Structures are given as structure tokens and as C-alpha cells.
């Protein structure tokens, strides 16, 4: 894999209600952030591709987090729509056929398979009918994703070390649920910045701790210093 610049390892989630709010946040963060994630909320707000093109024009990397889950042929066609747009990552969330379809259609886009959402814990898996612990399910899904041609996985920092130990270094781990401060929201399987990277994550995704801060740029800069110090 290509070396990752430390400043590119922080991905900020643009979990905001519209394109104008997203652009304002990006402008406020300035050169403190180089990589952004665009999810379902922005997709439903409209102007998704307009914002994507604007981000690329600003020199930012883009992570399309739409967690494709549909008939495999439909997922393949959706992934093909992303090719040639300068997108770095896109997510898929499904069974083997869905992951394989996305991987085969990816072109210049790296496909990340979602393992288990960081908002879920053991009790939630029981409710969903999974008769195994979180770690076992994450490892099973990651093993299949890599074998099927996905470039990496989205996984909690709580499972990153297990994935690295079992599957090696030939794939990417993108870790959401990063909480550099006390956590009181709906994310359950969370870790700190340093723990994520020491466990084997390649990238971290942070949304609310930056977006909702009184001084978002200062928070992003502090996290970037933590990352730079870790990789120095």
C-alpha cells in the first residue's frame, strides 16, 4: 500500500443537514483537515455531487459513506457511478455477493466493507439475531471482505488489533467512533485517537467532537498534532 501522510489520516464526517452548512464547516476548518466523509444525510439533502466536486476543487479527499446494500447488480451499477470522480473511499454493507459486486465494479475507488456499526453492542446483536460476540462477527466479515477484493473495512478501534493480528497489514482499517473527549452520545464501541492507531487503524473518522466544538478548527488542529506525534 502507498504510504499515508499523517495529515490525511483524520477524516471529518460532514454529518450536517445541507450543502451550505457543509461548505461553511469545511471553510472554517481550512487547512486543518484534508479528508471528508459524506454520508446519507447530505445525500438526501440534495447537491451531493455538487458538494463532492467542490471538495475536490479545494484539494480535499472524499469518502462516500452510503453503505450500499441492495441486489448485487444494483450495487455494482451504483459503484460504477462513482468512478472517475476523484473519490477515495466508498462503503458497502452486505453479504458476500454484495461485497464482491462492489469490489469488481470499483475502478479507481477503494471499497470499504462495514463490519459492525460502532453504535451497536452485544445487546444490539442479540436483538438482530446474531448468535456470536461482536469481535467474532467483525473478524468474520473482515476476513470475507478482504478475500472478496475489498480494499479494507470500517471497524471499531476495539476490534482493530484483532483484525491486524489475524489478517495482517495488506488491507485498510478505517475507524469511526473516535471520542477524544468524554462520550455521551449514541456511539457505544468508542476509542481515543491514540488507541485507534496503536490498535492498527489507518484512518480515523471524527464527526461530532469537531463539528459541535466551540472552536472546530482548534480541535482539529489538536487531533492532527496527536496524529503527527504518534507517527513521528
Q: What is the pLDDT of residues 21-60, one digit of tens each?
A: 999 999 999 999 999 999 999 999 999 999 999 999 999 9
Backbone angles phi, psi at 167, to 5 degrees: -115, -5
Residue 110 is among the residues annotated as catalytic for this protein: no
Domain that holds residue 58: 6-231
User: Could you tell me which residues come within 8 angstroms of residue 47 by beta carbon, excluding any fewer than 6 positions away?
Assistant: 18, 19
Averaged pLDDT for residues 77-90: 98
149 within a domain of the structure (yes/no): yes
Does residue 166 lie in a domain region?
yes
Domain count of the fold of the chain = 1
**Helix (DSSP H) and strand (DSSP E) numbers for the chain:** 11, 8
Torsion-angle region of residue 46: left (phi > 0), alpha (psi -120 to 50) or beta? left
> Pick the catalytic residue: 67, 106, 110, 188?
67
- Strands 110-114 and 89-92, by their bridges, are parallel
CATH of residue 154's domain is 3.20.20.70
Whether residue 146 is contained in a domain is answered as yes
Instruction: List pLDDT tens digits, range 114-124.
Output: 986 555 455 55
In a domain, 118, yes or no: yes
Q: CA triplet 122, 128, 129: central angle to 5 degrees?
A: 90
In the predicted model, what is the mean pLDDT of the chain? 90
Angle at 119 between CA 175 and CA 88, to 5 degrees: 35
Neighbours of 29 (CB within 10 A): 20
pLDDT digits (tens, 9 = 90+) for 210-223: 999 999 999 999 99
Residue 1 included in any domain: no
Amino acid at each position: 500500500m502507498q504510504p499515508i501522510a499523517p495529515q490525511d489520516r483524520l477524516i471529518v464526517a460532514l454529518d450536517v443537514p445541507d450543502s451550505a452548512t457543509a461548505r461553511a464547516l469545511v471553510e472554517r476548518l481550512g487547512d486543518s483537515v484534508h479528508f471528508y466523509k459524506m454520508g446519507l444525510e447530505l445525500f438526501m439533502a440534495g447537491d451531493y455531487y455538487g458538494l463532492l466536486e467542490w471538495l475536490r476543487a479545494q484539494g480535499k479527499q472524499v469518502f462516500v459513506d452510503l453503505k450500499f446494500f441492495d441486489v448485487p447488480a444494483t450495487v455494482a451499477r451504483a459503484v460504477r457511478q462513482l468512478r472517475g470522480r476523484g473519490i477515495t473511499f466508498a462503503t458497502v454493507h452486505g453479504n458476500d455477493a454484495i461485497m464482491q459486486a462492489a469490489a469488481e465494479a470499483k475502478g479507481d475507488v477503494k471499497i470499504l466493507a462495514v463490519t459492525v456499526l460502532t453504535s451497536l453492542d452485544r445487546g444490539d446483536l442479540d436483538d438482530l439475531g446474531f448468535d456470536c460476540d461482536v469481535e467474532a462477527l467483525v473478524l468474520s466479515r473482515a476476513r470475507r471482505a478482504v478475500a472478496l477484493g475489498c480494499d479494507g473495512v470500517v471497524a471499531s478501534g476495539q476490534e482493530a488489533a484483532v483484525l491486524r493480528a489475524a489478517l495482517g497489514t495488506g488491507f485498510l482499517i478505517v475507524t469511526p467512533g473516535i471520542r477524544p473527549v468524554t462520550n455521551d452520545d449514541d456511539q457505544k464501541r468508542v476509542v481515543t485517537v491514540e488507541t485507534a492507531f496503536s490498535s492498527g487503524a489507518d484512518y480515523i473518522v471524527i464527526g461530532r467532537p469537531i463539528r459541535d466544538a466551540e472552536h472546530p478548527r482548534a480541535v482539529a488542529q489538536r487531533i492532527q498534532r496527536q496524529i503527527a506525534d504518534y507517527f513521528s
